[in-house]
Amino acid sequence: MIRVENLSKQFGGFRAVNGASLTIRAGSITGLIGPNGAGKTTLFNVIAGVHKPTSGRVTMMGEDITGLPPHQLFHKGLLRTFQIAHEFSSMTCRENLMMVPAGQSGEALWNTWFGRKRIADEERSLRAKADEVLEFLTISHLADQKAGMISGGQKKLLELGRTMMVDAKVVFLDEVGAGVNRTLLNTIADAIVRLNRERGYTFVVIEHDMDFIGRICDPVICMAEGRVLAEGTLAEIKSNEQVIEAYLGTGLKNKDKIA
Amino acid sequence: MDLLNAFVALANFVLIPGIAYGSQLALGALGVTLVYGILRFSNFAHGDTMAFGTMVVILLTWGLQVLGVSFGPLPTALLALPLGIAITALVMLGTDRVVYRYYRMKKADPIIVVMASLGVMFIMNGIVRLIIGPDDQNFADGARFVINAADWRAMTGLSEALTLRTSTVITIVTAGLSVWALFWFLNKTRTGKSMRAFSDNEDLALLSGINPERVVRVTWIIVAALTVIAGTLYGLDKSFKPFTYFQLLLPFFAAAIVGGLGNPLGAIAGGFVIAFSEVGVTYAWKKVLGHALPDALEPEGLVQLLSTDYKFAVSFAILLIVLLFKPTGLFQGKSV
């Protein structure tokens, strides 16, 4: 699905990602773990077009997508969410979702004056779709709330909802679980698994919560110091010497500490 | 004591001019606020771009006048307006292509872009003076008054006259229509919504598949329309002089900041706050007070708080107060 080859990203003198290579299998929910500063988010940003890589290549289904801007990647079906949830705070949750499928006829200036009927039809189907997504995420009651007013966890759900408004192929989730309570985390995990099974979304998930990773992710990739350290099931990763060293430094080799 | 005459004098010298001036400021401030909200920099070239656009309209108007085209009682400039907007929009898109896009691609700090806009300001300034000269230009034609003083006195028998100039009525009507069209666009169309989304959260807008260059293009076109309309209305109402247009930059920014930068509704409110403060402080209240107060209290002086020479001090003072006490403005814009 996605192949990253020898990717590096340098900020000034600091190499946040340093020759990382990895492959994301189509239809998988791949977990990406690693200590703070391992370069996980930078890797996401480079793949998602926020930063241009210093060197290396990213391909999606054989097509070179290195350095494409985010809105073009979006139209290719590559979506991401943020570590800290983003939303259009002055719009309602429903409007936030309806904002997403950019690029249909309402976009052309010409059509805002002529072809009003077609736009009205589109708006109606978009609205229906947005309501469906809110229903799926069990936040229908928030449809008319301003997105700036809902809780952090609900914003995360809304972000997940954004990916459902279009036919996403691969979705990058940056710490979906951060600052989210257990119950909501379960809702998010269920939504991810269902989207994966029912709609065939491929997910890449950055997460620090190992229970969460263990529950939904296979395989798990561990990064440290800008490189990929190991790949495998969570159990394999947990028993990998190098991984333990990266998390805890040499000398301390208590496997349980990772969890 | 004569309250009716007092009110007529108040309307004639404060309310009507204040509303007209406020509408012009509101349109100008809307341009400033849209650029700030979407392109994220304070456009110092705004006043001189307005001078440029108005100059184009004036040249076209003269052309039409030579051809013998007129718009009946309405000023010919209104006929020249659409083409003037189109030309100015092209120039602004060109400027964006040549200057601002480079800094956008480099993700330059806003202050660097502001400095670039200062450069654009000087260039525009030079171009306008080169083409039309630094002097006053009069391009208003058509009927001068809707109601003139003599008619009013004959109609009402009051000693105070209320005059209503054509340019004032045109200003208010045109500004109203423009604002309505803008808000309809921002709230009802997808392009307008994507502009709002882009202004609200750029990163998310990009990841929602919104094409930033398109949003920027549409913004410049809308800003060109608002600017040229504002400039033409101001020119019809008062007169066109490049330096005056450059000076309008201050009340524009004051209005946009008072209302909350990046907030269109705020820009309109801010425009009227600044306009009424300016007119109110520089107007000699003797006449109104003379009618309104009992004879014994009638003021001897002019009761003018500030000479009109200092009218820009009003914008400055309001700007300072807002920045000190409520930097996000009345309508919670972005803090400066």
CB contact under 8 Å between B196 and A48, yes or no, is no
- Residue A112 has a pLDDT of 55
d(CA A235, CA A247): 15
Q: How confident is the model at residue A114 (pLDDT cuts 50, 70, 90)?
A: low
Q: Are residues A220 and A231 in contact, defined by beta-carbon separation less than 8 angstroms?
A: yes
Q: Which domains does chain A have, with CATH numbers?
A: 2-90+166-258 (3.40.50.300)
Alpha helices in A38-115 (DSSP H): 40-47, 70-75, 93-98, 109-113
CB contact under 8 A, B210 and A71: yes
CA A127 to chain CA centroid, nearest Å: 24
Residue A164 near chain B (CB below 8 Å): no
Highest mean pLDDT among A165-174, B112-121, B142-151: B112-121
The burial of A124, by beta-carbon neighbours within 10 Å (0-12 exposed, 13-18 middle, 19 or more buried), is given as exposed
**How far is it between the farthest Cα atoms of chain A?**
71
What is the C-alpha end-to-end distance of chain B, expressed in Å? 47
What residues in A contact B196, CB-CB < 8 Å?
Answer: 88, 90-91
Backbone angles phi, psi at A17, to 5 degrees: -120, 130
Summarize pLDDT for A187-226 with one digit per residue, the tens: 888 889 988 998 889 999 988 888 888 888 888 999 888 8
Q: Over the stretch B55-71, which tens digit does the pLDDT of each residue have?
A: 999 999 999 999 988 88
B224 neighbors B53 (Cβ within 8 angstroms): yes
Cα distances (Å, whole numbers) of residue B107 to A83, B93, B102, B236, B250: 21, 19, 9, 40, 27
Q: Give the C-alpha separation, A82 to A167, whole Å.
A: 19
State yes or no: pLDDT of A236 exceeds 90.
no
pLDDT at A252: 47
Q: Which of B146, B113, B144, B136 is nearest to B45 (CA)?
A: B113
**Chain A residue with the nearest C-alpha to that of B187:** A91
Q: How far is CA B74 from CA A199, B77, B142, B211, in A?
A: 62, 8, 5, 41
In chain A, what residues touch B206 (CB-CB under 8 Å)? 69-71, 74
Put simply, the chain B residues between 196 and 225 with a CB less than 8 A from any chain A CB are 196-197, 200-201, 203-212, 214, 218
**Do B189 and A95 make contact, defined as CB atoms within 8 angstroms?**
no
Secondary structure (DSSP) of B266-284: HHHHHHHHHHHHHHHHHS-
Residue A70: which of B192, B207, B218 has the nearest Cβ?
Answer: B207
Residues A153, A179 contacting (CB under 8 angstroms):
yes
Nearest chain B residue (CA) to A104: B190
Dig out the tokens for B68 from the structure.
């013998």
Quick one: DSSP state of residue B111? H
Of B189, B201, B211, the CB nearest to A112: B189
Which residues in chain B are closer than 8 Å to A79, comparing Cβ atoms?
A: 207
Taking residues A5-14, report their average pLDDT. 86
Mean pLDDT (chain B, rounded): 90
CA distance B1 to B11: 17
Asked if B189 and B39 count as a contact pair (C-beta separation under 8 A), the reply is no
Nearest to B208 by CA among A120, A69, A61: A69
Chain A's closest residue to B197, CA to CA, is A88
Contact A50 B203 (CB under 8 A): yes
Pairs of CB atoms within 8 A across A/B:
78
Q: Among the listed ranges A52-66, A166-180, B67-81, which one has the minimum average pLDDT value?
A: A166-180
Contact A87 B190 (CB under 8 A): no
How far CA B282 is from CA of B5, B304, B312, B314, in Å, comes to: 20, 6, 10, 9
Could you tell me which residues are beta bridge partners of residue B146? Answer: none
Whether B196 sits inside 8 A of A100 (CB atoms) is: no
Place of tokens 């080169």: B130
- Distance between CA atoms of residues A95 and A85, nearest Å: 16
Which amino acid is it at B44?
F
Contact: A112, B206; criterion CB under 8 Å: no
What per-residue confidence (pLDDT) applies to B58? 96
Chain B residues within an 8 Å CB radius of A119: 190
**Chain A nearest-CA residue for B181:** A113
CA-based torsion, A152, A154, A156, A159: positive or negative: negative
Choose the weakest-confidence range: A87-96, B55-64, B313-322: A87-96
Longest CA pairwise span in chain B (Å): 71
In this prediction, what percent of chain A has a pLDDT beyond 70?
Answer: 89
Backbone angles phi, psi at B170, to 5 degrees: -60, -45
| A31/A233 Cα distance (integer angstroms) | 9
Q: Out of A88, A103, A108, whose CB is closest to B197?
A: A88
Ordered domains of chain B (ranges, CATH)? 3-250 (1.10.3470)
Cis previous bond, A219, omega within 30: yes
Chain A residues 70-99 with CB within 8 Å of chain B: 70-71, 74-75, 79-80, 82, 86-91, 95, 99
Task: Give tens-digit pLDDT for B170-192.
Answer: 999 999 999 999 999 998 888 88
Whole-number CA gyration radius for chain A: 19
Cβ–Cβ gap A74/B209 under 8 Å? yes
CB atoms under 10 Å from CB of B286, counted, come to 16
- Closest-CA distance, A157 to chain B, in angstroms, reads 15
Mean pLDDT along residues A141-154: 86
- DSSP state string for B21-79: HHHHHHHHHHHHHHHHHHH-S--TTHHHHHHHHHHHHHHHHHHHHHHT--BTTB-THHH
Mutate to test the interface with B, among A41, A90, A122, A167 (most CBs of B within 10 A): A90
pLDDT at A218: 83
The DSSP annotation for A168-183 comes to: -SEEEEE-TTTT--HH
Q: Collect all residues of chain B within an 8 Å Cβ-Cβ radius of residue A166.
A: 209
Whether pLDDT at B193 is above 80: yes
- Count Cβ atoms below 10 Å from residue B177 Cβ, excluding itself: 11
Structure token pair of residue B49: 């771009």
Chain A: give the shortest CA distance to residue B204, in Å.
6
The DSSP secondary-structure symbol of A258 reads G
A161 in Cβ contact with A106 (< 8 Å): no
Only one residue has tokens 């907007």, namely: B85
> Percent of chain B at pLDDT above 90?
59
Q: What is the sign, positive or negative, of the torsion defined by CA atoms of A123, A133, A59, A209?
A: positive
Q: Which residue has the higher pLDDT, A116 or B193?
A: B193
DSSP state string for A61-73: TTEE-TT--HHHH
Work out whether strand A2-11 and strand A14-24 pair parallel, antiparallel, or are unpaired. Answer: antiparallel
Provide CB contacts within 8 A for A186, sequence distance 6+: none
Smallest Cβ distance to A71: which of B189, B193, B211? Answer: B211
Residue A172: closest C-alpha in chain B: B207
Comparing CA positions, the residue from B63, B209, B211 lying closest to residue B139 is B63
Say if CB B262 and CB B195 are below 8 A apart.
no
In B, which residues are within 8 Å of A70 by CB distance? 206-207
State the residue for tokens 């898109």.
B93
Burial (Cβ within 10 Å: 0-12, 13-18, ≥19) of residue B108? middle
Window A:97-116, CB contacts with B under 8 Å? 99-104, 106-109, 112
Please tell me the distance from the alpha carbon of residue A182 to that of residue B335, in angstroms, as a whole number.
36
Model pLDDT for residues B145-175, shown as the tens digit of each residue: 888 888 888 888 888 888 899 999 999 999 9
Q: What percent of chain B has pLDDT over 70?
A: 99
